[in-house]
Amino acid sequence: MSHMKPGDGSCFNPEEPDSNRGLEFRSNMAVCEVDDYSVYSQLSDEELLQAAAERSLTDKHLPPNSDSSTASSSAPPTPAVPAQTNPNPRQRRPNRHLQYVPPSHPPCSEPPHIPNCANPPTSLFQFLYKGLKREFSPLQSLIMNGDVESLVDLVRQKSSSLMESNNEGWIALHEAAYYGQLQCVSVLVSAHPDSVNRGTLKNQTALLLAACRGNISCVAFLLKHGADPNIANTDRETPLYTASEHPNEAIVTLLLRFGAQVNRSCIQGTSALHEACRHGQPELCSVLLEAGADLQTRNIYGISPFFTAAQHGHVEVLHLLAKRGADINGQAVDGASPLFEACKNGHVSAVDALLSLKADPNRSMKSGLLPLHVAVQNNHSRIVSMLIPVTSRVRVRHSGISPLHIAAEKDRDDIMELLIESGLDVNAKLSKGRSRMYEDRRCTALYFSVYNGNLEATEMLLQAGANPNLDVFNPLLIAVRLGWMDMATLLLRYGADVNAQVSTQLSSFPSSILLSMESVPMLKLMLDNGCDARPCFHCPYGQKQHPAITPSRRPVEEMQNSSDAPTQHNIQFCEAVSSPALERISGPIISMLLDYVSHVHLCSRLLEVLGSRSDWMLIKLKACPPHPLMQLCRLKIRHLVGVQRLKLLHTLLLPVRLTRFLQYNVSPGLTCPR
């Protein structure tokens, strides 16, 4: 069913004789009665046009006796530009659905409110009207108002202005067709029949402009008077294409009856059937298919009409084209399938329809992504639930990325829960190629969740069996560096390696100590959970003089280098703790570490640090033997228990106070003086 607008001839019947409509009678009258009146005979074209415009502005016009009576005095509203559903570099079709516009005024603007004796202008309106008046030529105003009498006067005087083009190549006939002024079109075609197929600078004919605006009566008149329905504009868009782009079934039917070629494509390779599918017009699609529209036509992106219908979620059109033999799994140039596109855009009903039509859910893009991946990426949980049972786990593995990676990266917690419950491998790794896309070479879904600070998703993955020690850069170090106590505690509870090192920038002691030195509570958490503090006191220089340190940045920042950068020097604890950033807390850091080691020797630099403040002198004594027996026993028991089982100390059948002592949750009653 066509979409008629006021003034578009909604009651027009192409089969009705001309005598019933009276168009030819008015047209002939306009052309045949060309006797020169003495009042006009001495006027130039410019004066004649100005007189006609003044007459148009001062007369009280009655509605013309044509099917454009209601809306002929105003430009039809410009159809809204369709929402872009594919905002990415591989745009399916350029966003160029712009209305054809007379170059001297905007497409959606209302014609100026014309003052007359019944509508005297105010001073404000006069100011605004002057600005508007400059945008519209007198001839444009005359045509926009449907002033047939003034136009006839110009025809009688054989005014050259009627065939003069503006800077965009528009003549009066183009304006009349654009605004749906049927009587004006009739007068102009009858006066200049050879102009019916004249094009603008963009080769837009009057027929194409009328079809674009949905002016069916103008389309019918132009076709009956020799308009060629197959003349395309510079973008190779024909009137039929335009009538499908701005869907109007009646105009399409009319154009096809007059010989419009149904399979002509625009410069992007898109056909009229593509446009009908894009707008979800099953009746219009049927009309085009009956006329011989090719279902297999593809645009420059390899997109078929069926693909377009899936892209925009038009279920009825999908079923229609499938019955006509459309390729349900036809892929675009980048490998995307109709199902992939429907999943990406969240068209639940279309996905359901495609699956019922046996669309392949395991057909991947050239990048390896499956419909399930893109549904997760765009947070379409209902579609994810539909795809999980029909998606091959083998194809997921071959893609090099698990949907869990995407869910974790995008913080799709609800979808992650669905994927975990479906049995997807929580320890699946990114392929090497995909991992190299990230500077930190991450590879697990757990890393993404930790990196995002998503405690709930991290716990969900850990409870499902995620291993926190599979990534090159241990996720625990992220939590430590950012001071996320809850996240670090959670990872440690599930076995994160507290002694992990950063492979790209080695230190002589655990990286977790280096990254936590600016946060004493975090440092204690690492030590309580088995971080080995002994290497902190292994210095190659010992009591000898240390080389001068001239770091360009804080030692911890040395670890932020790219993984491709060459390895820097091995960072020593003594140089890290003596940096200016830590000078106020260096003593307490050393003191805390001494509680977690037995017999160690302080190097000359550590002694220098402790000697810089008088209140730190006792810390130097703390490192000297003999060490308290209780401390040595605690260290021995913890060593025998092992790092991974320290979290189970509370399960031993020991007195509570002793358990707390072993966990460094020391009460005063268990402390031992030196």
- Most confident range (mean pLDDT) of 148-152, 165-169, 473-477, 584-588 is 473-477
pLDDT of 178 over the 70 cut: yes
| Res 563: pLDDT | 43
74 and 156 fall within a common domain: yes
CA dihedral over 660, 662, 668, 669, signed as positive or negative = positive
Q: Is residue 306 part of a domain?
A: yes
- List the single range of 38-47, 293-302, 581-590, 612-621 with lowest mean pLDDT: 38-47
Residue 300 and residue 167 share a domain? no
Residues 74 and 188 in one domain: yes
Rounded (10°) angle between helices 249-257 and 282-290: 10
Judge if 70 and 1 occupy the same domain: yes
Name the band, by pLDDT with cuts 50, 70 and 90, for residue 671.
Answer: very low
Q: Examine the domain organization and report whether 553 and 674 are in the same domain.
A: no
Dihedral angle over CA of 171, 176, 177, 183, nearest 10? -130
Residue 621, both tokens:
């004594």
Domain boundary among 399, 414, 437: 399
Predicted confidence band of residue 87 (pLDDT cuts 50, 70, 90)? very low
The pLDDT of 570-585, averaged and rounded, is: 86
Question: What pLDDT shows up at residue 503?
Answer: 72
Instruction: Supply the pLDDT for residue 46.
Output: 58
SS (HEC) of 585-633: CHHHHHHHHHCCCCCCCCCHHHHHHHCCCHHHHHHHHHCCCCCCHHHHH
Of 277, 307, 327, the last residue of a domain is: 327
Q: Residue 136: what pLDDT? A: 72
Distance CA 180, CA 66 (A): 11
Contact call for residues 98 and 66 (beta carbons, < 8 A): no
- Cβ-Cβ contacts under 8 Å for 468 (sequence gap 6 or more): 446, 462, 474, 475, 476, 491, 494, 495, 496, 497
Beta bridge partners of 225: none
Helix locations, 471-602, DSSP H: 475-482, 485-493, 511-516, 520-528, 573-577, 586-594
Across the range 204-221, mean pLDDT stands at 96
> Residues of the chain with pLDDT > 90: what percent?
55
Distance (Å, whole) CA 485 – CA 505 = 24
Structure tokens at 519: 């946060």
319 phi and psi, to 5 degrees? Answer: -65, -40
Q: How many angstroms separate the CA atoms of 447 and 457, rounded?
A: 11
The model's confidence at residue 43, banded by pLDDT at 50, 70 and 90, is: low
Given this model, what pLDDT does residue 44 score? 59
Q: Distance between CA atoms of 498 and 476, rounded to whole angstroms?
A: 8
State in Å, rounded, how far the first CA of the chain is from the last one. 97
What is the biggest distance separating any 2 CA atoms in the chain, rounded to whole angstroms? 130
Do 37 and 178 belong to one domain?
yes
Among residues 598, 553, 614, 601, the alpha carbon closest in space to that of 574 is found at 601
Contact between 4 and 220 under an 8 Å Cβ cutoff? The reply is: no
Angle between helices 148-156 and 182-191 (to 10 degrees): 10
* 631 vs 65, higher pLDDT: 631
Which of 276, 347, 275 lies closest to 310 in space, CA to CA? Answer: 347
Full residue range of the structural domain in which residue 608 is found:
536-625
Reported as a pLDDT band with limits 50, 70 and 90, residue 569 is: low
660 and 618 within one domain: no
Examine the pLDDT at 535 and tell me if it is beyond 80. yes
- CA gyration radius, the chain: 40
Of the candidate ranges 38-52, 87-101, 461-475, 551-565, the one whose mean pLDDT is the lowest: 87-101
What gap in Å lies between CA 451 and CA 475, rounded to an integer? 7
> Does residue 645 have a pLDDT over 50?
yes
Q: Where would I find the H helices in 410-519?
A: 413-421, 432-435, 445-451, 455-463, 475-482, 485-493, 511-516
Contact present, 116 and 18 (Cβ < 8 Å): no
- Predicted confidence at residue 353, as pLDDT, reads 97
pLDDT exceeds 90 at position 100: no
Domain boundary among 178, 209, 227: 227
What is the structure's pLDDT at 74? 34
Q: Is position 635 within any domain?
A: yes
Average pLDDT over residues 81-102: 37
Q: Could you report the per-residue pLDDT of 499-518, keeping only the tens digit for each?
A: 998 876 677 889 999 999 98
What φ, ψ does residue 592 adopt, rounded to 5°?
-65, -40
Both structure tokens of 619: 């810390």
- The domain that holds 212 is classified in CATH as 1.25.40.20
Query: What CA dihedral angle connects 443, 447, 452 and 453, to 10 degrees?
Result: 180
Strand extents, DSSP E, 113-212 = none
**Is the residue at 315 inside a domain?**
yes
Asked if the structure places residue 506 within a domain, the reply is no
- Of 446-450, 604-608, 643-647, the range with the highest mean pLDDT is 446-450
Per-residue pLDDT, 141: 87
- Overall domain count for the chain: 5
550 and 611 housed in the same domain: yes
621 and 633 housed in the same domain: no
pLDDT tens digits, 267-277? 999 999 999 99
Q: Is residue 479 one of the residues assigned to a domain?
A: no
Q: Is residue 206 part of a domain?
A: yes
Q: What is the mean pLDDT of residues 146-165?
A: 89
Give the CA angle between residues 75, 78, 84 to the nearest 5°: 175
pLDDT (average), residues 641-648: 85
In a domain? residue 469: no
Say whether both 125 and 200 belong to one domain.
yes
At residue 515, the 3 state secondary structure works out as: helix
Are 146 and 173 contained in the same domain? yes
Question: Could you tell me if residue 584 is inside a domain?
Answer: yes
The tokens 């001068």 sit on which residue? 548
On whether both 589 and 566 belong to a single domain, the answer is yes
Buried b (16+ CB within 10 A) or exposed e, 202-235: ebbbbbbbbbbbbbbbbbbbbbebebbbebbbee
Compute φ and ψ for 571, nearest 5 degrees.
-70, 130
| Residue 345: pLDDT over 60 | yes
Closest alpha carbon to 338 in 299, 380, 289, 305:
305
Question: Is residue 296 helix, strand or coil?
Answer: coil
Interval 375-415: pLDDT, tens: 999 999 999 999 999 999 999 999 999 999 999 999 999 99
Q: Looking at the whole model, is its pTM more than 0.85? A: no
Task: Identify the band that residue 36 occupies on the pLDDT scale cut at 50, 70 and 90.
Answer: very low
Closest CA to 92 of 270, 247, 231: 270
Report the DSSP beta bridge partners of residue 265. Answer: 271
Mean of the per-residue pLDDT values of the chain:
81
Q: What is the predicted pLDDT for the residue at 334?
A: 95
DSSP class per residue in 297-314: ---TT---HHHHHHHTT-
- Do residues 94 and 268 make contact, with C-beta atoms less than 8 angstroms apart? yes
Q: Provide mean pLDDT across the span 97-118.
A: 38
Instruction: Specify the long-range contacts of residues 535-538, CB closer than 8 Å, at least 24 apart.
Output: 535/508, 535/509, 535/510, 535/573, 536/509, 536/573, 536/593, 536/597, 537/573, 537/593, 537/597, 537/600, 537/601, 537/602, 537/603, 537/606, 538/508, 538/509
- The whole-number pLDDT of residue 658 equals 87
Instruction: Find where tokens 């939590």 sit.
Output: 479
* Predicted local distance difference test score (pLDDT) of residue 665: 84
Q: What percent of the chain has pLDDT over 70?
A: 75
